[in-house]
Chain A
Amino acid sequence: VKRNDEVAPPNLQLEERVSSSLNPFKGLNQHKSSTDIPKPTQKSQEEKHKEWDSTISPKEDKSRLGQDTKSDELNMLRKVQQERLQVSHKSIPFTANQFERDRSGTETQHGRKACVHENKMDATSDHDPHEDDDDYPNRHGERHDPAGKTTANTPTRTLEEELTFLKRFSPTRYQVQIGFVPNMKVPAEIIVNDGLEKLLLQEFHDSCCAGEGGNSFIPALRQAANVAALPGIVGASLAMPDVHSGYGFCIGNVAAFDMNDPNAVISPGGVGFDINCGVRLIRTNLTEKDVDFETREKLADALANHIPVGVGVDGVIPCTEEDLDDILMNGVDWAIRQGYAWEEDKEHCEENGRMDTADSNCVSKKAKRRGLKQLGTLGGGNHYAEIQVVEEIYHPQAAETMGIGKVGQVCIMIHTGSRGLGHQVATDALTVMEKAMARDHISLNDLQLSCARIQSREGKEYLAGMSAAANFAWVNRSCITYLTRKAFKEVFHREPDDMSMHLVYDVCHNIAKVEKHVIDGEEKTLLVHRKGSTRAFPPHHPNIPKDYQSIGQPVLIGGTMGTCSYVLVGTPKGMSETFGSTCHGAGRALSRNQSRKRLDHEEVLEQLRKDGIAIRVASPKLVTEEAPESYKNVCDVIETCQEAGISEKVVKLRPIAVIKG
Chain B
Amino acid sequence: MKEENHTENNANCQRKGRREPSQELQRRIDCAITNRSHRRNQIDDIITPSEKNNERSSAYGSEADAFTRKRQHNQSPNFNEPGVPPTGSQFEYLNHPADIILHSWGNDFPSALGNLAISMFGYITSLESVFINERESLENGGEIIAQGHNEPSLVYSFLDEWLYNFHDTGFVAKDIRIIEYNASLWRMKSCGAGEVMDLQRHPQGAEIKAITYSGMTIERSEGRCDIMVVVDI
Measuring CB to CB, which residues of chain A are less than 8 angstroms from any residue of chain B? Answer: 7-8, 10, 14, 17-18, 23-26, 28-34, 36-37, 39-40, 64-65, 67-68, 76, 79-80, 92, 94-97, 99-104, 112-118, 203, 211-217, 244-248, 251, 273-274, 285, 301, 304-306, 308, 310-313, 316-318, 336, 338-340, 342-344, 366, 369-370, 379-381, 400-401, 403, 405-406, 420, 423-424, 426-427, 430-431, 434-435, 447-448, 450, 482, 495, 497, 500, 502, 547, 587-588, 591-594, 596, 601-602, 605, 609, 615-622, 625, 661
Contact = CB atoms under 8 A, between A and B. Distances in A.
Contacts of A251: 98
B131 to A, nearest CB: 6
B227 to A, nearest CB: 10
B61 interface: no
B90 interface: yes
A515 B23 CA distance: 41
Contacts of A211: 95
B29 A427 contact: no
Tell me which of A68, A99, A615 has the highest count of chain B C-beta atoms within 10 A of its own C-beta.
A99
B191 interface: yes
Interface in B183-230: 183-185, 187, 191, 193, 197, 199, 202-221, 224, 226, 228, 230
B20 A339 contact: yes
Q: Which of B111, B156, B213 has the largest number of chain A CB atoms within 10 A?
A: B213
Contacts of B193: 24-25, 28
B207 A426 contact: no
B40 A312 contact: no
B205 A405 contact: no
B68 interface: no
A344 B10 contact: yes
A31 B78 CA distance: 12
Nearest to A7: B179
Contacts of B21: 338-340, 482
Interface string B99-127: 11101011111110000000000001100
Nearest to A420: B167
A245 B97 contact: yes
Q: Name, among B22, B28, B106, B214, the residue most crowded by chain A CB atoms within 10 Å (CB to CB).
A: B214
Contacts of B100: 592-593
Nearest to B114: A95
B198 to A, nearest CB: 9
Nearest to A203: B97
9 contacts: A14-B135, A215-B217, A311-B125, A338-B25, A340-B21, A424-B210, A593-B95, A617-B47, A619-B203
Contacts of A594: 95
A23 B216 CA distance: 34
B132 interface: yes
Q: Assign chain B's interface to a size class.
A: 35 or more
Contacts of A622: 82-83, 205-206
A406 B2 contact: yes
Contacts of B32: 316
B interface secondary structure, majority: mixed
B47 A620 contact: yes
A212 B213 CA distance: 18
Interface in B64-96: 81-83, 86, 88-90, 92-96
B220 A102 contact: yes
Given A274-B209, A312-B124, A318-B25, A118 B98 contact: no
Contacts of A379: 207
Given A25-B193, A117-B216, A339-B21, A305 B40 contact: yes
Given A423-B210, A588-B98, A434 B153 contact: yes
A7 B197 contact: no
A80 B83 CA distance: 36
A536 to B, nearest CB: 21
Report the 6 A-B pairs with minimum CB-CB distance, sorted nearest first: A380-B207, A316-B32, A213-B94, A339-B21, A96-B181, A311-B207
Contacts of A620: 45, 47
B214 A427 contact: no
Which residue of B19, B175, B215, B226 has the most chain A CB atoms within 10 A of its CB atom?
Answer: B215
B207 to A, nearest CB: 4
B222 to A, nearest CB: 9
A549 to B, nearest CB: 12
A10 B142 CA distance: 8
Nearest to A251: B98
A115 B152 contact: yes
Interface string B126-152: 001001101101110011010101111
B175 A28 contact: yes
A617 B48 CA distance: 11
Contacts of A118: 213-216
A403 B168 CA distance: 42
B3 to A, nearest CB: 8
Nearest to B8: A500
B228 A215 contact: yes
A628 B214 CA distance: 27
B72 to A, nearest CB: 13
Contacts of B83: 592, 596, 621-622
A601 B84 CA distance: 15
Given A28-B175, A95-B111, A339-B19, A370 B164 contact: yes
Contact of A113 (B10, B22, B168, B220): B220
A285 B83 CA distance: 42
